[in-house]
Amino acid sequence: MQERLQKFLARTGIASRRGAEKLITDGKIRVNGVVVTELGTKVDPVKDKVSYNGKMLKVEAKKVYYILNKPKGYISSVKDEKGRKTVVDILSDVEERIFPIGRLDYNTEGLLLLTNDGEFMNKLLHPKYEIGKTYVARIDGIINMEDLDKLANGVKLEDGKTAPADVYLDSINKTLKESRVEITIYEGKNRQVRRMFKALGYEVKALKRIAFAGLTLSKLKRGEYRKLTETELLRLRKKIGDK
Ligand code: URA
């Protein structure tokens, strides 16, 4: 879609609308290599190459941040070659090209953040920030104290021993012979929680992430999502050393 050159320039952030008009009339702006001084000139922001001082100008996409309560049966990626539903399908009315921050398995539900801010995502996933992720796991069998301690102190997996975790026994159902365990991990190995329980001989029957980096699902129902508030975003930025 075409738009007026001064509007496009203002959107790139190099100048205000007024300032952009001056840059144009001063002959500082080139469109596809040609100086343009005409204020009414229209450009196509996708096809036309607009430059100032020899530098190509681009409009930065507005950064957006969402929290989703992921249901089971969705994969945590933008596209799936097998044609399965993805978490991005749930947020289909979001115009920006968002992607999930990390992954939840197809059959795991719960808190997932999505954004179009790659740098923010990389930082939140970087091991050095030790971002806490809390899960509730419903497991087959009655878990004992010794195994709870092992989960907390580290379990040997094929890709190394897990880092210390916070572990609480929520409940035991003797009739169904299952236990509910809350576990907070500070790293992000692939399928980590399921593999930790499996290493101790328990099968995870259901897994839900209830917290991530201090954020909780609170009132978000399964399949619902919303934008992060300014306060939530500020708190996250603090954790990763951003202003
Ligand atoms: N650990 C798992 O095993 N699965 C998830 O989806 C997240 C953490």
CA distance 198 to 137: 12
Cβ–ligand 1 contact at 48 (below 6 Å): no
Task: Please determine, for residue 243, whether its predicted confidence score (pLDDT) is greater than 70.
Answer: no
pLDDT tens digits, one per residue of 96-126: 999 999 999 999 999 999 999 999 999 999 9
CA of 74 to the centre of ligand 1 (A): 13
For the segment 56-62, the average pLDDT, to the nearest whole number, is 88
Candidate from 38-52, 129-143, 162-176, 202-216 with smallest mean pLDDT:
38-52
178 close to 141: Cβ distance less than 8 angstroms: yes
With bands split at pLDDT 50, 70 and 90, how would you rate the model's confidence at 13? confident
Q: Which of these CATH numbers, 3.10.290.10, 3.60.20.10, 3.40.50.620, 3.10.450.40, describes 3-56?
A: 3.10.290.10
For the segment 176-181, the average pLDDT, to the nearest whole number, is 98
End-to-end CA distance of the chain: 35
Task: Please determine, for residue 21, whether its predicted confidence score (pLDDT) is greater than 60.
Answer: yes
For the segment 192-221, the average pLDDT, to the nearest whole number, is 97
Candidate from 76-80, 86-90, 105-109, 128-132 with smallest mean pLDDT:
76-80
The confidence score (pLDDT) of residue 169 equals 98
Average pLDDT for the chain: 95
Q: What atom of ligand 1 comes closest to residue 185's alpha carbon?
A: 8
Cβ-based neighbours of 63, under 8 Å, separated by 6 or more: 115, 116, 117, 120
Q: What atom of ligand 1 comes closest to residue 76's alpha carbon?
A: 6
Q: What atom of ligand 1 comes closest to residue 107's alpha carbon?
A: 6
Q: Which of 69, 72, 109, 135 should be mutated for ligand 1, with most atoms under 8 A from CB? A: 135
Is the CATH code 3.30.70.580 the one for domain 65-127+215-239? yes
47: nearest Cα among 8, 97, 6: 8
Pick the more confident residue, 15 or 224: 224
89 catalytic per annotation = no
**For atom 4 of ligand 1, which residue has the closest CA?**
191
Task: Please determine, for residue 140, whether its predicted confidence score (pLDDT) is greater than 60.
Answer: yes
CA of 75 to the centre of ligand 1 (A): 12
The confidence score (pLDDT) of residue 34 equals 95
For the segment 225-239, the average pLDDT, to the nearest whole number, is 96
Q: Indicate whether this model's pTM tops 0.85.
A: no
User: Do 132-212 and 65-127+215-239 have the same topology in CATH?
Assistant: yes
Q: What is the CA radius of gyration of the chain?
A: 24
For the segment 191-205, the average pLDDT, to the nearest whole number, is 98
CA of 127 to the centre of ligand 1 (A): 16
Q: Longest Cα pair distance anywhere in the chain, in angstroms? A: 81
Q: Which of 191, 204, 208, 212 should be mutated for ligand 1, with most atoms under 8 A from CB? A: 191
Cβ-based neighbours of 128, under 8 Å, separated by 6 or more: none
CA of 135 to the centre of ligand 1 (A): 8
Show me where the domains of the chain are located.
3-56, 65-127+215-239, 132-212
Cβ–ligand 1 contact at 192 (below 6 Å): yes
Give the architecture-level CATH label for domain 132-212.
2-Layer Sandwich (3.30)
Cβ–ligand 1 contact at 162 (below 6 Å): no
For the segment 145-164, the average pLDDT, to the nearest whole number, is 97
100: nearest Cα among 229, 241, 209: 209
**For atom 3 of ligand 1, which residue has the closest CA?**
191
87 close to 41: Cβ distance less than 8 angstroms: no
Task: Please determine, for residue 172, whether its predicted confidence score (pLDDT) is greater than 90.
Answer: yes
